[in-house]
Amino acid sequence: MEVTVVGAGLAGCEAAWQLACRGIPVTLYEMKPHRRSPAHVSDSFAELVCSNSLRSDELTNAVGLLKAEMRALGSVIMSCADAHRVPAGGALAVDREGFSRAVTESVMSHPLITVRGEEVTRIPPGRVIIATGPLTDGAMAEEIGRLCPGTDLHFFDAVAPIVTLESVDMDSAWFASRYDKGTADYVNCPLDRETYEAFVRELQTAQEAELHGFEDSGVFEGCMPVEVMARRGMDTLRYGPLKPVGLPDPRTGREPYAVVQLRMDNAGGTLYNMVGFQTHLKFPEQRRVFSMIPALRSAEFVRYGVMHRNTYLNSPVLLDRYYRLKSQPRISFAGQMTGVEGYIESAASGMLAGIETAREILGLEPADFPAETAIGALALYVSGGSVGDFQPMNINFGIISPLGYRVKGKRNKNAAISQRSLEIIEGMKIGLPAGR
């Protein structure tokens, strides 16, 4: 039986890969290059439209655990990310263009995956996984709306500006990672109190870009625009993305009043993005206000920040633990549309949907990833484990089943949870066949 996957983002590519590597033929539809959403600029699959960071790679962090589980299960997204990583301390950041090209080439070269470059306007017959992303619109959005009442929920996602390294005034900045953890991968741009307060005042009153048809005035807390944070109080940024803790200035030996961090955005190390600076300001306003940061007074902006809307399903009502539509189990969803939040979480939902769909077709029992694993806990939360109004969710240890015994220290406890999870994943023996 063939499966149709609609959308070649991180979730769609992972779902198609998991199916094909288990011997299931896949037709993968992708509307690019014929049509792009307002947030996309590349024709490649698995495009990273926000940050190039896939967040922590440590097992004491829940997203680090999720990555480790995905590696153990044969993830194409993780394989390509690892091959195109750029320095980022304890985080996994990638050269976004190299990463997307690698995913595209891997998926297109698989003999059981047929790629069709066209837009899908109706839900195909048979087994289908819909991974059309958080900006799904037009006829497909109407189709989903008929199937899934409650799809009018949405939040903002935002893209941070990118500058050239050579345009950064390194006499006013230095390379370091917080607490000297790992290698010195971040450019740190300090602000004294007077400069910081002037900067915040300008942010508070700067002009925002006009909203378009795919946007509205809502804001999702997990991707808060920097100007919105500034309006919440003079010190909000100093306790958020501009916190100076663990970043002493080597010239003084003291922590600055505030610090803006830049993170490498490409493998060549020539481009850096402004960490935590998602914004909806007009482009001239971004240049004017961000140039108040001393190290960026002459910065060359190769990409300004933009914002766009993300739409997600009321998944606890609509989906089961396999991301299947309860009313029509032949249809599964994957990616941010389900209410998982983050690149890795999106890919993980595609992985689970692909694995479980393949097992069903092959006549095998469901994998039923348990709540002791990150991939299972996320699916169980999205499909019914939330309390109150459903909101997008990053993976976190709070939704993974506790150990049942005390471990002293948070990091030690998290490490123990991760060890337990990886032992469970290994014991399930459902990774890809050797050589895949």
In a domain, 105, yes or no: yes
Interatomic CA distance for residues 32 and 44, integer angstroms: 8
- Does 154 have pLDDT greater than 70? no
Number of Cβ within 10 Å of residue 97's Cβ equals 17
DSSP 48: -
Sequence-separated (6 or more) residues with CB below 8 Å from residue 187: 165, 168, 170, 173, 174, 175, 261, 262, 272, 295
Interatomic CA distance for residues 64 and 344, integer angstroms: 9
The pLDDT value given to residue 134: 73
**Do residues 265 and 149 share a domain?**
no
In a domain, 93, yes or no: yes
**Do residues 391 and 287 share a domain?**
no
Residue type, 253: G
In a domain, 436, yes or no: no
**Do residues 318 and 383 share a domain?**
yes
Higher-pLDDT residue of 336, 393 = 336
Which phi and psi (to 5°) does residue 108 adopt? Answer: -70, -25
- Does 38 have pLDDT greater than 70? no
Average confidence score pLDDT of the chain: 88
Render 144-180 in DSSP notation, one character per residue. Answer: HHHHSTTTT-EEEEEE--EEEGGGS-GGG-EEE-GGG
Final residue before a domain boundary, out of 308, 343, 363: 308
pTM: 0.77
**Do residues 163 and 285 share a domain?**
yes
- Does 213 have pLDDT greater than 70? no
pLDDT digits (tens, 9 = 90+) for 300-357: 998 888 776 667 888 888 999 999 999 999 999 999 899 898 899 999 999 999 999 9
In a domain, 433, yes or no: no
**Do residues 373 and 414 share a domain?**
yes
Final residue before a domain boundary, out of 275, 308, 341: 308
**Do residues 177 and 241 share a domain?**
yes
Report the CATH number that the domain containing residue 13 is assigned in CATH. 3.50.50.60
In a domain, 347, yes or no: yes
The pLDDT value given to residue 41: 55
The pLDDT value given to residue 149: 65
In a domain, 435, yes or no: no
The pLDDT value given to residue 133: 82
Query: Which tokens belong to 275?
Result: 């960490």
pLDDT digits (tens, 9 = 90+) for 77-98: 999 999 999 999 889 999 989 9
Q: How many domains does the chain have?
A: 2
- Does 53 have pLDDT greater than 80? yes
Give percent of the chain above pLDDT 70. Answer: 88
Final residue before a domain boundary, out of 293, 308, 323: 308
pLDDT digits (tens, 9 = 90+) for 347-390: 999 999 999 999 999 999 999 999 999 999 999 989 986 655 67
- Does 186 have pLDDT greater than 80? yes
- Does 209 have pLDDT greater than 80? no
Range of the domain at 251: 158-308
**Do residues 112 and 236 share a domain?**
no
- Does 220 have pLDDT greater than 70? no
In a domain, 354, yes or no: yes
β partners of residue 254: none
The pLDDT value given to residue 223: 64
**Do residues 301 and 320 share a domain?**
no
**Do residues 145 and 175 share a domain?**
no
The pLDDT value given to residue 90: 86
**Do residues 137 and 220 share a domain?**
no
| Average pLDDT rounded to a whole number, residues 165-187 | 92
**Do residues 95 and 168 share a domain?**
no
Place of tokens 């709070």: 398
The pLDDT value given to residue 182: 78
Report the CATH number that the domain containing residue 235 is assigned in CATH. 2.40.30.260
- Does 202 have pLDDT greater than 80? yes
pLDDT digits (tens, 9 = 90+) for 229-257: 999 999 999 999 999 999 999 999 999 99
Sequence-separated (6 or more) residues with CB below 8 Å from residue 425: 69, 72, 73, 373
pLDDT digits (tens, 9 = 90+) for 95-122: 989 999 999 999 999 999 999 989 888 9
pLDDT confidence tier of residue 214, bands split at 50, 70 and 90: very low
In a domain, 434, yes or no: no
Give percent of the chain above pLDDT 90. Answer: 64
**Do residues 129 and 192 share a domain?**
no
